[in-house]
Amino acid sequence: MNPNLGLHHVLPPYMLEHLAEHGPEHLREGARADLTVDRTLRAARAVRPAARPGTAVAGDTPQAAPDRTVYDAQHRQNLPGTEVLREGGAAVADVAVTEAYDGLGATFAFWWEVFGRNSIDASGLPLDATVHYGRDYDNAFWNGEQMVFGDGDGTLFNRFTVSLDVIGHELAHGVTGAVRDLVYEGQSGALNESMSDVFGSLVKQYAAQPQQTAEQADWLIGAGLLTSSVQGVALRSMKAPGTAYDDPSLGKDPQPDSMAGYVDTTDDNGGVHINSGIPNRAFYLAATGFGGFAWEQAGRIWFGALSSPDLTTTATFAEFAAITVAQAEELFGAQARAVVLAAWNEVGVETTVELPDPDAEDALDLTETQQAGARPAGAQ
């Protein structure tokens, strides 16, 4: 399957726009230049060739292994740049190269060991990355072929290879594109972004030594990315959307934590980075409702929903939620179903679940509701 399905930046455009208007004077022009680069890349994505094909489908080999290559753009904007590290090569002194290489490996290991998925396309797709893209470039992105990392400006943003969940987030866009290419607009686009936050966070939790339970995880996306001069901890918080940062140069985290704060906008492809906070928090609530390692139950349920033939590419929050509830029951039983249903109810997403009517052959549509906060104990 061709993963060349779109361009996705980890830094939302509203952060760059605020920085261009209100950031330190010496960074404003750079932010405007970064926005121009992003628009240029989006315009060019349709003419890119497909990524290098994989060599084996999942299950063809008893143990799949990553095929990683890291390039150095040498502060230019030509991709992929000069090759500096290939799979199995000797370690290099460049910390950004090492972080990118290790991050690709950790993401590959997560998808293979948890889901039996041989790379992000399930067919052994080589994982390529370019570091040192542009000068002081404040972003990282997946362009349908490879990962690309800027070095950050050093004042507000550190290098973009520093955060493993950012790497996991961007590569998860490739997974979503290959499994169910959710239209990148409105609620389906926010679900697309949320899936990347979910699996980016799970990659970090899985790779931690020791591995982190749902209760131990920080549930931050981009932790370590902001410098100490910024009033904030990350780009987004799945646990508490809207609280990740509040800084004069970057503005205030605009994410709502429930449908009561849903942002109806035409900016940012209909608020894909903003409204993703709602399904993000639903996942966090489900994961902590279950307890234990989040990839074992909540992660499997969410990936099962993404893979479900019932999920359309223009799915709304309510439609996706209904599928997760059904997946929870199918995979783990009635108690798990109650945990997931309660999580969606707590963020204000009304879930319509199709249940069998014992008195009729046809299925009955029933809208189930539950008091917010009345989450039953999770199934272990």
CATH code of domain 182-380: 1.10.390.10
Contact 274, 86 (CB under 8 A): no
pLDDT band at 378 (very low <50, low <70, confident <90, very high): very low
pLDDT at 38: 60
Contact 139, 9 (CB under 8 A): yes
pLDDT at 30: 75
pLDDT at 37: 63
pLDDT band at 354 (very low <50, low <70, confident <90, very high): low
Evaluate if residue 362 carries a pLDDT over 60: no
Q: Which of 27-41, 84-98, 330-344 has the lowest mean pLDDT?
A: 27-41
Evaluate if residue 142 carries a pLDDT over 90: no
pLDDT band at 363 (very low <50, low <70, confident <90, very high): very low
Evaluate if residue 355 carries a pLDDT over 80: no
Q: Which of 90-99, 255-264, 269-278, 352-361 has the lowest mean pLDDT?
A: 352-361
Q: What's the rounded Cα separation, in Å, for the pair 283 and 158?
A: 28
Mean pLDDT of the chain: 85
Mean pLDDT, to the nearest integer, of 247-256? Answer: 95
CATH of 1-179, picked from 3.40.50.300, 3.40.1160.10, 3.10.170.10, 3.90.78.10, is: 3.10.170.10
Residues across the chain: 380
Q: What's the rounded Cα separation, in Å, for the pair 253 and 258?
A: 14
pLDDT band at 358 (very low <50, low <70, confident <90, very high): very low
pLDDT at 12: 80
Please tell me whether residue 292 adopts helix, strand or coil conformation.
coil
Evaluate if residue 57 carries a pLDDT over 60: no
Evaluate if residue 131 carries a pLDDT over 60: yes
Q: What's the rounded Cα separation, in Å, for the pair 279 and 284?
A: 9
- Quick one: tokens of 72? 């150095």
Contact 351, 367 (CB under 8 A): yes
CATH 3.10.170.10 domain range(s) in the chain = 1-179
Evaluate if residue 44 carries a pLDDT over 50: no
Alpha helices in the chain (DSSP H): 13-22, 25-44, 95-115, 164-179, 186-207, 268-271, 277-290, 298-307, 317-332, 334-346
Q: Which of 67-81, 132-146, 174-188, 352-366 has the lowest mean pLDDT?
A: 352-366
Give catalytic residue positions: 170, 273
More confident residue, 2 or 84: 84
Query: In sequence order, what are the beta bridge partners of 368?
Result: 351
Work out the percent of the chain whose per-residue pLDDT is above 70.
83
pLDDT at 9: 74
- pTM listed for this prediction: 0.85
pLDDT at 45: 38
CATH 1.10.390.10 domain range(s) in the chain = 182-380
Of residues 312, 76, 89, the one with CA closest to residue 183: 312
Evaluate if residue 202 carries a pLDDT over 90: yes
